Amino acid sequence: MKTETLAREFRYNGAKLTDPSPTFSLQQVRDFYGNTYPEIVNAEIEGPEIVGNKNVFTFRRAVGTKGATDELISARQKIGRVLQNCRRLPPSIVTYLVEVERFAGAHVCPLLDEEISFIDALYARYVVQARVMETAS
């Protein structure tokens, strides 16, 4: 039997982040990326999830609610769930969702009805449908 050390990989908002130093604690990695992504500093660290030969940790930012409507919070939560299941999602849609979430989170502005409908459709296809398929198998 051969023992293999798993490399660490970090993810935030659909982006893959390399491990800045294998000697860093998870909190130190989060602080390191805080220079690039200021909102990551208060993020929760989830994982690891073993993917191939890597331990994958996910930084999950808490959805802020100050001044936000219920509709916006729901849309932002759905975006987060869709991005969690983004393995099959086209890269252009991942980029779009990351930008919508970033913009909505920074400005707490209302989303267009068309944007909310698109987010709902993506959620139904990539999150709800995935759950149905998992329970069926």
> For 11-30, what is each residue's pLDDT tens digit?
988 788 999 999 999 999 99
Q: How far apart are CA 57 and CA 54, in angstroms?
A: 9
**pTM of the prediction?**
0.47
Answer whether 35's CB lies under 8 Å from 22's CB.
no
Q: Compare 90 and 57 and report the one with higher pLDDT.
A: 57
End-to-end CA distance of the chain: 31
Tell me what pLDDT residue 25 has.
Answer: 93
